[in-house]
Amino acid sequence: MTVFVIRRLLQAMLVVFLMSVIVFFGVNIVGDPVYMLVSPDADQADIEAAIRRLGLDRPIWEQYWLFLKGAAQGDLGDSFVFGEPALKLILHHMPATMELAFSALFLAIVIGIPLGLYAGLYPDSPLSKGIMAGSILGFSLPTFWVGLMLIMLFAVELRWVPATGRGDIGSFLGIHSSLFTLDGLSHIFLPALNLALLKISLAIRLTRAGVREAMGQDYVKYARAKGLSTRRIILVHVMKNIMIPVVTVMGLEFGSLIGFSVVTESIFAWPGMGKLLIDAILQLDRPVVVAYLMIIVLFFVLINLIVDILYSILDPRVRLQDQGA
């Protein structure tokens, strides 16, 4: 197990380094932020002074080397627009995005897995067919359109929940979150549901496929022959085996919930990292864009590492195959 974890850590470090090269050079060769930051009346001397102040007069490879040195010390550069550390700005907006991502993942699990389990156990029932048809819609409908429809229905017509904003923030055990207040929960319901729809559909289809495959396996037939109850067969034998791919996929999808919440945050005016990214792109605030992308890369790499370790615990054959390779 130790060798397996060390090998995965080395692979993760290599991925982070390669992605830092792609992200930094990809962002810094696009556009010229100086002309968006200086006054339209600025003369050439003012423009050159701004270029030197931002460090854009250095060769691109030198800028990257300085970025690596700063990143090793936890400094991802200062925002061109706000004049503050980019990492500080992102960390300030991160709790809102994490709340949204965790809420969406929670909805995907508590809604998607039971529906997929039912659809797998009773595939020919009308309800199961309706569940599968709904999952197709969840994959097909665009997020921005669904978000607008949710606002029109629940916030404008029915007036059950607010349309935008984060709501009041509460505190529990020293943790500050809008999830600890009723106002915060009412504000997060629509954006979390909008972000979770695709993942709910994915959980439904993944769970259904796993159940259909597991129910025909010999160990299930043997359990039935022993006289075990249907509840015990499903909860102990079937669920244990189908949770391996479910844990893997949903764990990886959590990273996408964080990284691709931009549309949902923009529609619902949710003050998270995605909204900060949109503002930074429009203003060509390169350090903020690079810092955001690198943090998302770290999230994906860390989540992949955790999923690999959990997978190897659930299925020790993964470690043996890795050693054999």
pLDDT tens by residue, 233-270: 888 778 877 877 787 788 778 878 887 788 898 889 88
Rounded mean pLDDT of the chain?
Answer: 84
Per-residue pLDDT for 1 more than 70?
A: no
**pLDDT tens column, 216-225:** 778 888 888 8
Per-residue pLDDT for 101 more than 80?
A: yes
Overall average pLDDT of the 197-203 stretch: 91
Greatest Cα pair distance, the chain, in angstroms, is: 87
Give residue 72's region: left, alpha or beta (phi > 0; psi -120 to 50): alpha
| Portion of the chain with pLDDT greater than 70, in percent | 95
Look up the pTM and report it.
Answer: 0.78
Q: Are 150 and 190 in contact (CB under 8 A)?
A: yes
Q: Around 90, how many Cα atoms within 13 Å sit in the side-chain half-sphere? A: 26
pLDDT-derived band at 309 (thresholds 50, 70, 90) equals confident
For domain 90-322, which architecture applies? Answer: Orthogonal Bundle (1.10)
Q: Tokens 């992605």 sit at which residue?
A: 19
Cα distance between residue 22 and residue 16, in whole Å = 10
Overall average pLDDT of the 65-73 stretch: 88
pLDDT-derived band at 63 (thresholds 50, 70, 90) equals confident
pLDDT in the model for residue 107: 92
Q: Are 116 and 207 in contact (CB under 8 A)?
A: yes
The SS3 assignment for 85 reads strand
Cα-based torsion angle of the residue sequence 304, 305, 307, 311 in order, rounded to the nearest 10 degrees = 130
- 185-201 b/e with 16+ CB inside 10 Å = b? bebbbbbbbbbbbbbbb
- Nearest alpha carbon to residue 101 among 321, 300, 320, 322: 300
pLDDT-derived band at 26 (thresholds 50, 70, 90) equals confident
pLDDT in the model for residue 322: 54
pLDDT in the model for residue 210: 87
